[in-house]
Amino acid sequence: MSDPLVLFMPSGKRGRFAKGTSVLDAARSLGVYVESVCGGRATCGRCQIEVQEGNFAKHKIVSSLDHISPKGPKEERYERVRGLPASRRLSCSATIEGDLVIDVPQDVVINAQVVRKKASDRVIDRDAAVHLRYVEVDEPDMHKPLGDLDRMKAALARDWGYDRLDVDFALVPQVQAILRAGKWAVTAAIHKDREDGPATIVGLWPGLKNEAFGIACDIGSTTIAMHLVSLLSGRIAASSGAQNPQIRFGEDLMSRVSYVMMNPDGREAMTGAVRQAINGLIDKVCAEAGAERTDILDMVFVGNPVMHHLFLGIDPTELGGAPFALAASGALSLKAAEIGIDANPGARVYVLPCIAGHVGADAAAATLSEGPYRQDAMMLLVDVGTNAEIVLGNKTRTVACSSPTGPAFEGAEISGGQRAAPGAIERVRIDPVTLEPRYRVIGVEPWSDEPGFAEAAGSTGVTGICGSGIIEVIAEMYLAGIISEDGVVDGSLAARSPRIVENGRTFSYVVKEGAPRIAITQNDVRAIQLAKAALYAGVKLLMQKQGVDHVDTIRFAGAFGSFIDPKYAMVLGLIPDCELSEVKAVGNAAGDGALMALLNRGHRREIEDTVRRIEKIETALEPDFQALFVAAMAIPNKLDPFPKLSAEVTLPPRKILTDAEGGGGRRGGRRGR
């Protein structure tokens, strides 16, 4: 009779194992990741699994609780002392006695207080670079005068298979006391970034230490976003964000580079500011999760090239002009202490690679998160800031570029523009007959023409118009015929509506009278045209490189992408034609990518390899770019024209339309007109 068949879910990996094999050993031999700190002593509880009962005919397995060993004394002790859900077993103690379907739960929670919420629905296969390893160390013996450290290394080799272990020197003077405090039982944190690379003891605690955390952090020009994550369960224990304090040195990236060029201490000041903010955020997430700073053992940081350089203490001046030379483009590994980040003294830092001088580690992280290179469909991934970082690709080939959109999409350089904040107009509709606008303001529930608007807006008032509002108002102006395809405000309409007003030699459209008066000037339209032309020309250039005339899916990363309506983005000609259902805002994809690299070191190699393979297109060197840019100035544009969409759709605030809600995308729109 053959050995029992065991199927692990959700991975679907399967194999036959001799009766009496522990479920943990079986999982490991198949490469199914099951955490364990105590090394099979049934004390850490990290290796919990569930047995699925039933006849899994498709897999030819009948799985039953009778096919797993009954709880032994060690497992019963764990259950008594620590508690174990009825359906759960410790895989280090439970042995295979017949065919089994084993479920590896994603939520093995030991210290419940640290698990509060989740930042993302993504389930990330775990294979962290730092592991906790409990060992019982031989006591000193005059017959075998190996040192404390050396006996501990021998125990780690014996129980966990580490052949050659380095040790952070700072721990060496502490080993004696920790071993004695733990009565010769200790938990070592071992950092091993590569399967074939060196392993290093980076932390040490007496007795069993059963939790360790990591930090995933996206350093944006405007905001810094951070997750505190259990390296053992993969659960997000706390998330927080803060404004990037470098804003006081300059709003956008180039003004910060200029600040460094103009001020001898500028680089140092900005480096200090961002590190201080990050330390403040670490305080915050630790307090929220009830974790200690010294529990943080691994960190992943991403950011655009200027943020990347300033955070690491590198002068970003070279990024301010051609050839836009990065000081370091590859992934970097360092210690948190080397850059003044306050965590465990042995905590490691991994920084994702940058793709090019204007396409940073944040774009690399978003690429890792969305994975164009993992799929057959041709995916367009766009992150719009002062520069648009654009990635286009599929399994076969991935290309990337950045395009100088300028800050117009962020509300800068627009007469009534402002950041997305309470008081900002975020949605606009224009009646194509009366040309009267109605709008919606951040923080205010009713639209401007609905009852209760004035009361609701009362205290803050209406202060300006933010990026998504600008996109919408200009698209609506076009749909209402106020501006032509060339973006000229039609002055003749001043006769028909008081909303059209003369403004020197051109005309403006008044969205709101009073103080402040908010109008879209001809210059504002031109600014948005320039920005969208830059974005579109960049996208089109990459499409040319790929030899495709359409994309299968579009992913908008970042804050801008979360708030704009993809329909209006298409009306304006920001993005190429695509099934509306395939256009998605993915939020902080860079942060998600950082999280993936934190929880699975394989993702580090994956993005390093991917970045090496990505073809980097420098728009400034492309002879076609200028022509594409000029052609993309028109609305929608002259490159990829598509029928106008109906504007008669009321969009819910800050939510991307699904097909069903929005009327089926482009084709639906055509029918609706």
Q: State how far Cα 487 lies from the chain centre.
A: 35
Near a copy of itself by CB under 8 A: residue from 1, 2, 169, 650: 169
- DSSP alpha helices (H): ranges in 548-664? 558-563, 566-572, 589-599, 601-613, 625-631, 659-662
72 forms part of the interface with a copy of itself (CB under 8 A): no
Alpha-carbon distance of 462 to 154, in angstroms, equals 69
Looking at 1, 2, 86, 145, which residue binds a copy of itself (CB under 8 A)? 145
* Of the candidate residues 1, 73, 80, 143, the single one contacting a copy of itself (CB under 8 A): 143
Q: Looking at this protein, which amino acid is placed at residue 652?
A: P
With CA atoms as reference, report the closest residue to 260 among 314, 338, 328, 341.
314
Q: Among 174-182, 238-246, 369-377, 504-512, which window interacts with a copy of itself (CB under 8 A)?
A: 174-182
Residue 13's contacts (CB-CB under 8 Å, 6 or more residues apart) are 7, 30, 31, 32
Query: In the complex with a copy of itself, which residue's Cβ is closer, 272 or 313?
Result: 313
Of 201, 232, 307, 314, the one binding a copy of itself by CB under 8 A:
314
Which amino acid is located at 581 in the chain?
S
Out of 10, 20, 83, 147, the residue judged to bind a copy of itself by CB under 8 A: 147
| Distance linking the first and last C-alpha atoms of the chain | 70
Instruction: By CB under 8 A, tell whether 513 contacts a copy of itself.
Output: no
Q: Which stretch binds a copy of itself (CB under 8 A): 90-98, 251-259, 312-320, 559-567?
A: 312-320
3-state secondary structure of 457: helix
173 interacts with a copy of itself by CB under 8 A: yes
User: How open is the CA angle 123-369-7, to the nearest 5 degrees?
Assistant: 35
- 240 to each of 128, 288, 293, 571, 600, how far by Cα in Å? 22, 9, 15, 35, 22
Is 176 a binding residue for a copy of itself by CB under 8 A? The answer is yes
Residue 178 or 534 having the CB closest to a copy of itself: 178
Residue 410's SS3 state is helix
Binder to a copy of itself among 20, 72, 85, 198 (CB under 8 A)? 198
Residue 324 within binding range of a copy of itself, rule CB under 8 A: yes
Q: Number of residues interacting with a copy of itself: please give it, by CB under 8 A.
A: 50
Give the distance from CA 444 to its chain's centroid.
Answer: 29
Per CB under 8 A, 195 contacts a copy of itself: no
Distance of closest approach, residue 570 Cβ to a copy of itself, in angstroms: 31
Distance in angstroms (rounded) separating the CA atoms of residues 20 and 419: 63
Helix (H, G, I), strand (E, B) or coil at 618: coil
Q: Which of 67, 88, 131, 153 binds a copy of itself (CB under 8 A)?
A: 153
Q: Which is nearer to a copy of itself, 334 or 488 (CB)?
A: 334
Query: Does 621 participate in binding a copy of itself (rule CB under 8 A)?
Result: yes
Choice between 81 and 620, CB closer to a copy of itself: 620
Q: Is the Cβ of residue 144 or residue 655 nearer to a copy of itself in the bound state?
A: 144
Q: Which is nearer to a copy of itself, 313 or 653 (CB)?
A: 313
User: In this chain, which of 65, 123, 146, 287 binds a copy of itself, going by CB under 8 A?
Assistant: 146
Query: Do 258 and 249 touch, CB atoms closer than 8 A?
Result: no
Binding flag, residue 321, a copy of itself (CB under 8 A): no
How many Å is the Cα radius of gyration of the chain? Answer: 29
- Interface residue with a copy of itself among 65, 81, 287, 322 (CB under 8 A) is 322
Sole window of 32-40, 83-91, 148-156, 567-575 interacting with a copy of itself (rule: CB under 8 A): 148-156
Residues of this chain, 325-384, that bind a copy of itself according to CB under 8 A: 325-330, 332-335, 338-339, 354-357
**Contact map string, positions 87 to 126, toward a copy of itself, x by CB under 8 A:** ----------------------------------------
CA angle 244, 250, 252 (to 5 degrees): 80
| Min CB(530)–a copy of itself separation in Å | 22
Q: Establish if 313 lies at the interface with a copy of itself (CB under 8 A).
A: yes
CA distance 426 to 564: 9
Q: Which of these ranges, 81-89, 155-163, 361-369, 612-620, lies near a copy of itself under the rule CB under 8 A?
A: 612-620
Of 81, 170, 421, 627, the residue at the interface with a copy of itself (CB under 8 A) is 170
Phi, psi of 90 (to 5 degrees): -90, 120
Q: What gap in Å lies between CA 352 and CA 522, rounded to an integer?
A: 42
Near a copy of itself by CB under 8 A: residue from 616, 644, 666, 670: 616
How do beta strands 199-206 and 185-191 pair?
antiparallel
The length of the chain in residues reads: 673
| Residue among 208 and 334 whose Cβ is closer to a copy of itself | 334
Minimal distance, residue 141 CB to a copy of itself, in Å: 6
Nearer to a copy of itself, 329 or 367 (CB): 329
User: What residues between 430 and 459 interact with a copy of itself by CB under 8 A?
Assistant: none
User: Least distance (Å) from a copy of itself to the CB of residue 316?
Assistant: 10
Cα Dmax for the chain: 104
Among 136, 288, 318, 608, binds a copy of itself (CB under 8 A): 318
> 323: part of which helix (H) or strand (E)?
none
Counting contacts by CB under 8 A, is residue 197 touching a copy of itself?
A: yes
Q: CB–CB of 4/96 below 8 Å?
A: yes
Q: How many Cβ atoms are within 10 Å of 451's Cβ, its own excluded?
A: 8
Residue burial 456-478, b: 16+ Cβ < 10 Å; e: rest: ebeeeebbbbbbbbbbbbbbbbb
DSSP code string of 338-386: GGT--S-TT-EEEEPPP-BTTB-HHHHHHHHHH-GGGSSS-EEEEEESS
Site for a copy of itself contains 422 (CB under 8 A): no
Q: Which is nearer to a copy of itself, 197 or 443 (CB)?
A: 197
Please identify which residue in 1, 142, 433, 660 interacts with a copy of itself, judged by CB under 8 A: 142
Contacts of 161 (CB under 8 A, 6+ apart): none
* Stretch of 84-92, 139-147, 373-381, 548-556 contacting a copy of itself, by CB under 8 A: 139-147
Residues that bind a copy of itself (CB under 8 A): 140-150, 153, 166, 169-170, 172-173, 175-177, 197-198, 312-315, 318, 322-330, 332-335, 338-339, 354-357, 616, 618, 620-621
